Amino acid sequence: MPKIVRFEPRPEGVSKTVKFEGADHGTPISFFAVDYAPGQSVDLHVHPYPETWIIRSGRARFTVDGEVIEAGAGDTVVAEAGKPHGFRNIGDTRLDVVCIHASDRIVQEFTGAEAA
C-alpha cells in the first residue's frame, strides 16, 4: 500500500529544510529537502554511506574531499562514503536541493571546518 508523508509549510526564515528518515516509513533511503537563502551553507561533515544531491534550482559550491566544484539546476553531485563534504548557496536566489542519504537513518559527523 502506498504511503504519503505530508510536510507542513516551513516558517519564514533563513532555512526551510525538511528532514526525512526512511526507517520511520519503511524505506532504506533518507533525505534532506534543502531550501537555503543566498550565502547559507552546511559545514563539512562525513557519513558512513554515499550522499547524492539533486539541484532543483539555484547554484551551489560543493566541497568534497578537498575538491571544490560548482553545480546548478539540473545537476547531480555525489560524494563517496567517508569523504568530508559540504556546500554553500552561491547564487542570489534561494537554493533548492535534495540531499539523498543511502541509509534508513541520517548519520553524520561534522569536522569543524566550513564549506568553501
Instruction: Give the residue among 28, 37, 29, 30 at the shortest CA–CA distance from 10.
Output: 37
Predicted pLDDT at 14:
58
The overall pTM is greater than 0.85: yes
pLDDT tens-digit profile of 70-112? 999 999 999 999 999 999 999 999 999 999 999 999 999 999 8
Predicted pLDDT at 102:
97
Predicted pLDDT at 8:
76
Given phi > 0 = left and psi -120 to 50 = alpha, else beta, which region is 9? beta
Predicted pLDDT at 90:
98
Contact 77, 64 (CB under 8 A): yes
Predicted pLDDT at 67:
97
Whether residue 65 has pLDDT greater than 90: yes
Predicted pLDDT at 25:
93
pLDDT tens-digit profile of 9-53? 766 665 688 999 999 999 999 999 999 999 999 999 999 999 999
* Class of the domain covering 18-106: mainly beta
Buried residues in 63-102 as b, exposed as e (16+ CB within 10 A) = bbeeeeeebeeebebebeeebbbbbbbbbeebbbbbbbbe
Q: What are phi and psi of 77, to 5 degrees?
A: -125, 140
